[in-house]
Amino acid sequence: MPTIRVSPDNVEVAFSPKANILDTLLDAGVPIDHLCGGRARCSTCRVFLLEGLSNVSERTEAEDAMATKLDFPPRVRLACQTTLADSVRLRRLVLDKTDVLLASQLGTPKLAGPAGREAEIAVLFADVVGYTKMSEALPPFDIVHLLNRFFSRTDDVVARNGGIIDNYMGDAVLALFGLHGEPDPALSAVRCGLAVLDVASELSHYVERIYRLSFGVRVGIDFGEVVFGVMGAGASARETVIGDTVNVASRLESANKDTGTDMLISDAVYQLTGDAVTVGERHELDVRGKLGPVVAYEVLSVDDPSDQDE
Ligand code: FES
């Protein structure tokens, strides 16, 4: 009977020519990672063919793309994309106990799933202007007080616009729209962004009066694909998003410094929001990690002001 001998587990598993290596090993209880769920979108199921290279299937198109990207040698294969014609001996390349523990934590039911999932969403980044100066001028407890005042109002407007707060990072907020299929995520994010600016404007009066300091916020919004999954381990594991869309939203937020604006949206957001949003100047920005300029627009206003009662 044709088999797969697996290192370092030292097990031998019978296989069907119809099943791929990943499914075969999982059915046999071999703890092989598969974070994208077997779609050739990660490389955690990779194996090294110790013997029987001629018995494995050709790379699929999807595997070929990943192999090119990560420069796999011929003996490194994605288990989820590979079937067998005869016996092989292979080594799992995600190996140690930490990897296995991590994989099992990723599968806990409260989380997004063992693989995380892809989604097309709007990502909003908001950051406090002049935070460093503020934190030098004020005692830390006052900074905590101010930020919490800002965050609690922001939390409210994000929720009212159908978004969720993904994370607070120091003085910054990352909010997501459309993660659970809510309609018009780009437009909701723009509405929310303007509402966040209103929150900051109201708060600035308070900060000026109490502390004699100015307070403002900058916002950047992009729309695109992200992977929503679990980061971290053990009790600190949490769901978050990863992807270029998050980076671009963050870069747009900081680009407001150069453009002299409070809120920039990407061209993708602009295209999705159509006539509902009135924009100002168009900017072409150099964004680290992007080939070519990123087109961005300042937002002046958005339709349906009854949705932005902040
Ligand atoms: S499980 Fe992600 S590539 Fe195979």
Res 288 pLDDT > 80: no
Q: Is a pLDDT exceeding 60 seen at residue 307?
A: no
Question: For 189-201, what is each residue's pLDDT tens digit?
Answer: 999 999 999 999 9
Q: Is the pLDDT at 306 greater than 50, yes or no?
A: yes
Task: Please list the alpha-helical segments (H only) found in the chain.
Answer: 21-27, 61-70, 97-106, 131-137, 140-160, 185-211, 244-259, 267-273
The pLDDT value recorded for residue 62 is 93
Dist. CA 36 → ligand 1 center (Å): 5
Other CB atoms closer than 10 Å to residue 85's CB: what's the count?
12
Is the N-terminal amide bond of 139 cis, ω within 30° of 0? no
Pocket of ligand 1 (CB under 6 A): 22, 34-36, 38, 40-45, 78, 80
CA nearest to 117, candidates 35, 234, 33, 224:
35
- Its pTM surpasses 0.85: no
117 is written with which tokens?
């999932």
Q: What is the pLDDT of residues 42-70, one digit of tens each?
A: 888 889 898 999 999 999 999 998 888 77
Span from the CA of 65 to the centroid of ligand 1 (angstroms):
12
Atom of ligand 1 nearest to the CA of 34: 1
Contact between 210 and 157 under an 8 Å Cβ cutoff? The reply is no
Residue 81 CA: nearest ligand 1 atom is 4
Q: Where are the domains of the chain?
A: 3-95, 117-307
| Domain made up of 117-307: CATH architecture | 2-Layer Sandwich (3.30)
**Pocket test residue of 25, 32, 39 for ligand 1, highest count of atoms within 8 A of CB:** 39
Higher pLDDT, 88 or 233: 88
- Coil vs helix vs strand at 222: strand
How does 283-310 read in b/e, with b if 16+ C-beta sit within 10 Å? bebebeeeeeebebbbbeebbeeebbeb
- According to CATH, the superfamily of the domain at 3-95 is Beta-grasp domain (3.10.20.30)
Q: What is the mean pLDDT of the chain?
A: 85
Mean pLDDT computed over 102-106? 45
Count of CA atoms in the C-beta half-sphere (13 A) of 303:
6
